[in-house]
Amino acid sequence: MIKDYIQSHQQRFLDELFALLRIPSVSADSRHKADVRQAAEFLFQKLKDAGADAVSLHETNGHPIVYGEKIISSSAPTVLVYGHYDVQPPDPLDLWTSPPFEPVIKDGNIFARGACDDKGQVYMHIKAFEAMTRLNQLTCNIKFMIEGEEEVGSDHLGIFVKENKEKLKADVILISDTSLISLSHPSITVGLRGLSYMEVEVTGPNRDLHSGVYGGAVANPINVLCEMIATLHDANGRVTIPGFYDRVAELTDADRKKLNAAPFDLADYKKDLSIDDVRGEQGYTTLERTGIRPTLDVNGIWGGYTGEGAKTVLPAKASAKISMRLVPNQSSQEITQLFTTHFQSLAPKSVKVKVTAHHGGEPAVTPTDSKAFQAASDAFVDVWGKAPIPTRDGGSIPIVSLFKKELGLDTVLMGFGLDSDAIHSPNEHYGVKNFLIGIETIVAFHRHFSKA
Ligand code: BES
Ligand code: MN
Ligand code: MN
């Protein structure tokens, strides 16, 4: 029995996951390049140990991609599992209650950077695979593709996918890198937002100036940047970039009703975040604002003096990182262009503005009428005793639309995290319960999918 296997090996599963979590595989930080590789090598070995064949580390110009497969029969369906072993930077470090790369279990949760996003969720697949091979219950072909650059835009995965279409041939992509509504309301993600990530720099005078000698007569780049940013939303919370909403797919009233029927408690939501009110585009609910509406947010802003005490300076430069979340049928490239043109046009003559684009990605909607979705739904019914609710998540996994475009494959987003798991934040965690029930649900998915 799968359940018995998971139970009797649970401690080892957790010990192994802890070993993976101890590796600080921060893809954004070049000082961690060797650590990122070490995480790849760790997974390479664990895939082998679990019984995978053709396990390889594919080198890229960035971080390596781990591949492995088990082909049991050419007539069996093939599931391609995708995940990422890289993690977000852990800072601000002082807000962690335990060090980010020293995993510990507190109140049933594993605390560590990457515990949920995505090492914990990737590892469920490897352990589900191990259980199926050991118990002779593998009824699907299975392929693993685990990358180390998801958190920095998957720059080299696209090339790998394009160059390895035959190797990656499959019937469906399976990803656990999203969240559930709650442990009592299982859900499957059927929509992800896209992304356009920008950086802007406003330059004023050719050097930092005394703010008394020059203040009031020379444009202050921080003041100007703030003014420019402030105009990017109108009083109704809508983004003011011309053309921004032109392609946005509007949902029918019936579909909006369905989306809003998902369990959601605004009071709990506010309480969890210690906020007195929510804020967003007028005319839409919170679930709609994160699920089906595009947004613009400043992710970071800097310039001038931020050290101890006071320094009266009129700085020469100010910068900000600004990202936009996109929905079907917006195009990341087009929105990047619209932003660039508009932001440039906002600048007064007294400053110069430079706009650069970082990574982007397209939104995705996955089908609910496919055999794979049905198999995932049946898996939840088996293990959780409840059918999962389809949800639209606000985060982005740009690779999902690339899989569709390059491999012609649909994805099932069977994630087991919770929104409260603090991914990308201090004290990221993942429920031991989620980890174990996830393994069981993944096994059930494979069982149902091979029958489908
Ligand atoms: N796993 C997340 C995306 C996610 C989280 C989707 C929660 C749905 C629910 C992923 O690792 C991530 O963080 N993606 C980035 C985009 C990427 C291009 C850096 C994001 O959404 O900011
Ligand atoms: Mn992730
Ligand atoms: Mn992430």
* Residue 70 contacts residue 133 (beta carbons within 8 Å): yes
pTM score, two decimals?
Answer: 0.95
Torsions phi, psi for 57 (to 5 deg): -105, 115
| Residue-level pLDDT at 452 | 67
Identify the sign of the CA torsion 336, 337, 343, 347. Answer: positive
Q: What is the pLDDT of residues 397-431, one digit of tens each?
A: 999 999 999 999 999 999 999 999 999 999 999 99
Amino acid identity of residue 430, one-letter, is Y
Residue 194: CB within 6 Å of ligand 1? Answer: no
Q: What is the pLDDT of residues 225-267, one digit of tens each?
A: 999 999 999 999 999 999 999 999 999 999 999 999 999 999 9
Q: What is the pLDDT of residue 1?
A: 87
pLDDT single digits (tens) 435-444 = 999 999 999 9
Provide the 3-class DSSP secondary structure of residue 283. coil
Write the pLDDT tens digit of every residue in 364-385. 999 999 999 999 999 999 999 9
Give the sign of the dihedral formed by CA 217, CA 222, CA 227, CA 232.
positive
Residue nearest to atom 14 of ligand 1 (CA): 396
Task: Please identify which residue in the block is written with the tokens 């992800």.
Answer: 192
- Give the rounded distance of the alpha carbon of 169 from its chain centre: 24
- Does the structure show a pLDDT above 70 at 308? yes
Helix (H) or strand (E) holding 390: strand 389-392
Ligand 1 contact, 120 CB (< 6 A)? no
Count how many Cα atoms sit within 13 Å of the Cα of residue 283 in the half-sphere of its side chain: 8
Task: Report strand pairing: 187-192 vs 364-365.
Answer: antiparallel
Taking alpha carbons only, the member of 406, 393, 432, 402 closest to residue 164 is: 406
* Ligand 1 pocket residue status of 397, Cβ below 6 Å: yes
User: What 3-state DSSP class applies to 132?
Assistant: helix
Is any atom of ligand 1 closer than 6 Å to the C-beta of 86?
no
Instruction: Output DSSP code: residue 311.
Output: -
Q: Which ligand is nearest to the CA of 152?
A: 1
Whose Cα sits closest to atom 18 in ligand 1? Answer: 153
Q: With pLDDT > 70 as the criterion, what percentage of the chain qualifies?
A: 100
Residue with tokens 């007064």: 348
Q: What percent of the chain has pLDDT over 90?
A: 99
Residues tagged active-site:
86, 150
Interatomic CA distance for residues 151 and 8, integer angstroms: 34
Do 53 and 45 meet the contact criterion of CB atoms below 8 Å apart? Answer: no
Rounded to whole angstroms, how far apart are CA atoms 96 and 424?
12
Q: Taking ligand 2, which is a single-atom ion, which protein residues have CB atoms under 5 Å away?
A: 117-118, 177
Q: Give the model's confidence band at 276: pLDDT under 50 very low, under 70 low, under 90 confident, else very high.
A: very high
Ligand lying closest to the C-alpha of residue 179: 1
Write down the mean pLDDT value for the chain. Answer: 97
State how far Cα 118 lies from the chain centre.
9
Enumerate the H helices of 385-431 as residue ranges: 399-407
